[in-house]
Amino acid sequence: MLNSYNSKLQILRELDSIIDFSKGGLQLRIMLLLGAKGYMSTRDISKALGERHKSIIDSIRKMVLKGLVEKIEDKGLYKLSETGLEFYNRLLSILYHDNRQRISREERREMSLDLAYEISRHIHLADALIALASSKRGELSINDIADAMRLSVDRAKTYLDTYSGESRLRLFKRIERRSRLLEIISKILKVFGIYIKTTLTVYRITDEGLTVFYKLPFYARYKRSIIAKILSKIFGTAHPRIVLKKTSLILLFSSLFTGFTTLLTPSGSLIALLGSLTLATTISFVIYRTI
C-alpha cells in the first residue's frame, strides 16, 4: 500500500514539473478536456470550460510551447501531442489504478472532467485564502478577491458562498457594508433616474479558513518573509496578483502625472523619467496578466 502511494506521488511530482498545478489549473483542465474529447477549437474549449476565450488562447499557446498540445493546421483545431497524451494517461493511471478495466471509457472521460473542475476550484479557493489571510484585517472586497482568483465577480461569489453561511466548512464570512461614497453618488444619480447599489460586498476569512491557510505551502514562505508583510501593509494584501495590479495602477498614474508635467515644463530628466515609468508600467502589467 505504501509503495503504491509513493509511486503515485512520484508521478504527480513529474507531472507538476510540466504543469505547475498551483498556477496552471486552466492548462490542466484543457488537457483533460482534450484527452476526453480528442480535438476541439479554442472557442469550443472556452464554452465547455466557461472561461474567457482570451484566457483559453493564452493557455493553449503555453501548452504548445511545452509540447503538450499541437494544432491541426487545416481545421484550426487543437489536440494533445504524444507528450500530452502520455501526461493524460499517466494522470488517469493514478485515478483508476487497478480498477481501470471495470470502468468504461466514457465514464473515465466524465470522471477526468470532474477532476479538472475540482482541481481548478481548489486552486481558486487557495488564491482567495491567500489574499484574505495576508490582508490587514482578514477581509477584502469581492472585486479584489475575484481578481486574485482570476474569475468574474459573480463566479467568485459562487465559489466563496459555497464555503460561507451555513456551510459545514465555513472558510469565509460574507458582509454587506454601507459605503458613504456610494450613497453620495447614488443621491446624485437618483436625480437622473439612475439607481445604484450603495453597499460593498466584502468577505472575511474565518478561524476555519485560517486553519486551512496555515496548511498551504504559501504560508510557510509568508511567515518567514519580511517583504511579504511589508507588501501586505502597503497594498492591503500580499497576494502577488493584487500587489502587481495595484503597482501597475500606481505606476500608470505616476506616468500620467509625469507626462502632464513634461508638457508644461519640458526637460531631459522629466522625459527620461516618463520613459522609465512607462516601461515599468508595461512590464508590471504584462506580469500581472501572465500570472
Does the pLDDT at position 98 exceed 90?
A: no
116 domain-assigned? no
Q: What pLDDT score does 2 carry?
A: 45
223/269 same-domain check: no
Does the pLDDT at position 63 exceed 80?
A: yes
pLDDT in tens, 134-161: 998 899 999 999 998 888 888 888 888 8
Q: What pLDDT score does 117 carry?
A: 58
Out of 182, 198, 232, a domain closes at 232
52 domain-assigned? yes
101 pLDDT tier (thresholds 50, 70, 90): very low
239 domain-assigned? no
- 87 vs 160: which has the higher pLDDT: 160
227/250 same-domain check: no
- 104 vs 57: which has the higher pLDDT: 57
Helix, strand, coil tally for the chain in percent (to 5): 70, 10, 20
270 domain-assigned? yes
- Give the mean pLDDT of the chain: 79
109 domain-assigned? no
∠ Cα 268 285 172 (to 5°): 140
222/283 same-domain check: no
Give the domain CATH number at 61: 1.10.10.10
Does the pLDDT at position 39 exceed 50?
A: yes
67/133 same-domain check: no
For residues 279 and 196, give the distance between their C-alpha atoms in angstroms, rounded to a whole number: 37
Strands 77-80 and 39-40, sheet pairing: antiparallel
110 domain-assigned? no
* Parent domain of 85: 2-103
Helix axes 142-149, 240-264, angle to 10 degrees: 110
82/160 same-domain check: no
174/198 same-domain check: yes
113 domain-assigned? no
* Residue 130, C-alpha cell as written in the block: 491567500
171/258 same-domain check: no
Element (H, E) at 126: helix 105-133
Q: What pLDDT score does 203 carry?
A: 93
Does the pLDDT at position 25 exceed 60?
A: yes
Select the highest-mean-pLDDT range: 17-31, 159-173, 189-203, 247-261: 247-261
Q: In what order do the strands lie in the sheet with 77-80?
A: 39-40, 77-80, 69-72
For residues 195 and 265, give the distance between their C-alpha atoms in angstroms, rounded to a whole number: 43
150/207 same-domain check: yes
Q: What is the total residue count of the chain?
A: 291
Q: What pLDDT score does 11 carry?
A: 63
262/221 same-domain check: no
Buried b or exposed e, range 42-78, using 16+ CB within 10 angstroms: beebbebbebeeeebeebbebbeebebbbeeeeeebb
Out of 71, 103, 135, a domain closes at 103
Half-sphere exposure of 231 (CA within 13 A, CB side): 19
238 domain-assigned? no
Output DSSP code: residue 253: H
219/257 same-domain check: no
Q: Got the DSSP string for 175-230?
A: EEEE-HHHHHHHHHHHTTT-----EEEEEEE-HHHHHHHTTSHHHHHHTT-HHHHH
Number of domains comprising the chain: 3
1 pLDDT tier (thresholds 50, 70, 90): very low
Q: What pLDDT score does 131 carry?
A: 92
175/207 same-domain check: yes
pLDDT in tens, 276-287: 878 887 877 776
Beta strand extents in the chain (DSSP E only): 39-40, 69-72, 77-80, 139-141, 172-178, 199-205
18/87 same-domain check: yes
pLDDT in tens, 186-220: 788 778 788 777 788 899 999 988 988 888 878 88
